[in-house]
Amino acid sequence: MELNIRGLKKRYGDVTVFDHFDCSLLGCAVNVVFGPSGAGKTTLLRLVMGLARPDAGDLSSLSDLKVGAVFQEDRLCDNLSPVSNVKLVAPSVSREAIQRALSSVGLGSCLDKPARELSGGMRRRVALIRALLSDYDLLLLDEPFKGLDETTKETVITYTRGMTAGRTVLLVTHDRQEALAMDARRIITVKTEGPETG
């Protein structure tokens, strides 16, 4: 199964981000988006999430999908614990299951601390677990492993790969090793002068 984006156009003022951009996402697999900074990787994700409207183009194959996401920013509720942050988007998942998931990525010691007291890497992992435990058809990951040290990154990638096996994922990253480790099956390249599908 493929999810198609056809003839996508998006401009911000005088800046053209996408001009007749086409790409296809492979269903039930990890798709990775590569491209230099400012090429429109995050814009592509925002368009897929419905947070930005395209000037033209067809994203209808994605419009009915339930989306889970790790944003470029962590977007956690600072007063809430990691468990409550996950519970916010995944109310049907039991507290024990959330605690187990958080512990799997090394957050077992701070399950009930307010998110504002967590380090950058810890917050990133909470944001990732929140997305992984949400009810989604399409998972969008915008540099989900940034700010993690190498050992933690390895653990987190292994866990994420296991959790997303057989699911449709769109991963934005600058790191080809991360794409390999996530077992990416399709590469989508976006360039500043105009995107192309690879």
HSE-up of residue 22 (Cα within 13 Å, Cβ side): 3
Minimal distance, residue 191 CB to another protein, in Å: 26
User: Backbone phi, then psi, for 152, in 5-degree steps?
Assistant: -65, -40
Question: What are the residues facing 118 on neighbouring strands?
Answer: none
Q: How far apart are CA 81 and CA 116, in angstroms?
A: 9
Closer to another protein by Cβ: residue 80 or 181 = 80
Nearer to another protein, 61 or 134 (CB): 134
Distances (CA, A) of 59 to 4, 52, 137: 7, 12, 15
DSSP H or E stretch at residue 189: strand 186-189
Helix 95-104 to helix 82-89 angle (10° resolution) is 120
The CB-of-143 to another protein minimum distance in angstroms stands at 16
Q: Which is nearer to another protein, 91 or 166 (CB)?
A: 91
Positions that interact with another protein (CB under 8 A): 49-51, 66-69, 71, 73, 75, 77-81, 84, 88-89, 91, 112, 134
According to DSSP, residue 28 is labeled T
Residue closer to another protein by CB (options 130, 153) is: 130
Minimum distance, C-beta of residue 11 to another protein, in the bound complex (Å)? 21
- CA nearest 118: which of 95, 140, 142, 102? 102
Minimum gap (Å) between residue 77 Cβ and another protein: 6
Nearer to another protein, 74 or 178 (CB): 74
